[in-house]
Structure 1
Amino acid sequence: MRTQVAIVGGGPAGLLLSHLLHLHGIGSVVLERRSQEYVQQRVRAGVLEQGTVDLLRDVGLGERMLREGEVHRGVYLQFDDERQHIPFQELTGRAITVYGQQEVVKDLNERRRRDGGQVLFEVSNVAVHDVATDRPFVRFTFDGVDHELHADFIAGCDGFHGVCRDAIPAGVRTIYERVYPFGWLGILATVGPSSDELIYANHASGFALHSMRSATLSRFYLQCAPDEPRDAWPDDRIWTELRTRLGTPGWTLHEGPIIDKVITAIRSFVAEPLRHGRLFLAGDSAHIVPPTGAKGLNLAVSDVDKLAEAIADFYRTGSATGLDCYSAACLQRVWRVQHFSWWMTSLTHHFGGPNAAFERRLQRSQFDYLRSSTAAATTLAENYVGLPTR
């Protein structure tokens, strides 16, 4: 098999890259180890930065998002039972849109199907070869048959547990990582949201987040031990903790059937560089951020936007300047986002240990500063809605 760009990974990063390349007249093949149904049903992030919304709209992927997505012009921060509003629109002129990642993937799959894109699901034994040469290729198995896919470039969009990152030699690759001493229990419930905006709550019992997916579907998160079994969180305990951590005078939490529970470890992770020869990493294969800042999907979108432009410039002009600058350009944004996500996590979570009382007093001071300082609130707002991507 032969194509211009082989894309390993059929999540939002890989599918969006394939679509962007198609708009430039560049061929690609997407290889995904999971089934299409699985990829489209994975409950993941749902907060889109203004820049992500603008990009998806501009490249013809925004029709359903603009119709069904929920625009939010701010967010609530809460310390114990004190809640304050950070008005994004007022402070920055920008907003966020709540639209589930699985919905973005559905839109992308449908568009690739309509455009005749090659997306192969349920492939196995994927391995990339000769990435340091000008003739890289990917070996994989599809429908029980072994294949070789030769390409000019390989895009590693295969996530944190994918194979592409390991194709960069250990002597070339540097890993930066921090594993946090807690996890998130994510809950999906068939009940309408209890708030008009997301709520980030720092309570004496731990962090909680109230989010939403639609008028009838709400998403909640609770700080927990990273190794706790889901069975330790029966529904009654979940609702009790949510009422406690999110509670404020006069406010009522709407409750309903819980249809999904998952416990996720929280980490910060960056692999540098994002390029080795003809192999380019994008999205979770290159970096993971704590979900507190709602940046994972948005960072992946920024990566593939830059990569598509660099590849298109190469085919259009023969210049490799964009390709040569890709890693450095992405990492500048990656580290800004890492800092913001770490800061939001430090503001809202309990880390425990001998300094716990001191750290909680610092968090209280930060909360009061955000409430009293327009400059501090603006810094939070402009990072949350997303710094310019271009």
Structure 2
Amino acid sequence: MKNLPKVLMISVAVGIFGYGFGIYFNMAPLVMAGGMASLTLLYGILLNKEHRPTKEKGFFRNVGTKIPIILVLGVIIWFTAGHYGFPFWWQVEFVAFALVGLFFFIILDLKTMKVEKGEGHSIRRLIGTYALGSLLYITITAQLPQFSPEIELAKLNRPPVDLSGLAGPEVIAAGRDVFESNKCFNCHKVFWEGNSDRGPNLGTKQIGLYSEEYIKDQILNPRENQSKGYEDKKSKKAMPTYYGEDLSEDELSVLVSYLKTLRDPTHMPVEGKFPNQWTWWDDPQIVAEGKIVFEGKEPVTEGLNCAVCHGTDGTPMMTGAFDFRDPDAMDTTKMADHRPLKLKDWPDDLYYRRVTRGVDATAMAPWGMIFPHLYLWKAEAYSRTFHDPLDKRTAKKPVPPVPTKE
């Protein structure tokens, strides 16, 4: 083939472009480069291939070969869109476009139409084809969830939040309204609610454990302190930075109040981007921070020193203190909610109960009434390492299922 060197040069150039594109958008640079270069090379070879007369295939044979191709493309589109965090209905719409393409492929395989008799005839055919495509598109997309202009206008014209006269549940409800009206669900789930994993699930992350200052900073300066698993370039640019201008002080205040309710006392907080997530039990940074809390060196929890009773190395320093080194140690029988479980089998909520609610008739106080629970969870994560060292684990603890409405 005469033009093969030129085709190869163009393919290499396209591959380099694809690699840069992949790096910039964090989309598998090598795959992008190889895919784009391969497609360009294939296209160039086909264009330069010696033309041979071909025999026209029958209509049904043509359609039969295109349907499997569209089905494969539809599956690829569906899973690719899901991988990059597009909402469910966006995935449906992308696949719907592929089906529209199939319809036009079928039209192209119909019997050849007569040659146009003139310019007017050509224009009528063009308009008719466009009208048919538009009708098909409108018909399909009309079946998808629609925005109601009245509802959207009502949101835009909603009077600003005024905290005067609001209290308790009303403040939280107002914060929920701010969360919804600012489309936060487009990127964040709240436990089972929402359909996008672009940003952290604020429920399973338990954003409510964090301080109000931290939450405000995450809203107003989202790119300065990324959540774990979201440090890539694409995720850093995902969170808008205009909320400091768009939200009034009262709106920001009620939004934070709502987010402070997002906790789950039955499970350890979860970090990371779906599906590559992990719990605090397996987070080296959290374990290290928990060690500081456990040994009484954390300024925020001044007065809390677990090591006084349980020992810095896990060896109990006080009679009756629980031995975290023993994986077979049983739950206390001094509590009404006693569970006959060995330490190695304790669920997250049992750890949480014993630390936050204390143990009757012992020196184990209800620390949850005194100190921020964020730090107590960290201390619990560290305490587990006495009988289950982080560096000797063969597998991470399974991420708990997302709590449901039921």
Please say whether Structure 1 and Structure 2 have the same fold, judged by a TM-score greater than 0.5. Answer: no
Which one has the bigger helix percentage?
2
> Which structure would you say has the larger RCO, counting Cα contacts within 8 Å and 6 or more residues apart?
1
When normalised by structure 1's length, the TM-score is 0.22
When normalised by structure 2's length, the TM-score is 0.21
The structure with the larger Rg is 2
Which one has the bigger strand percentage?
1
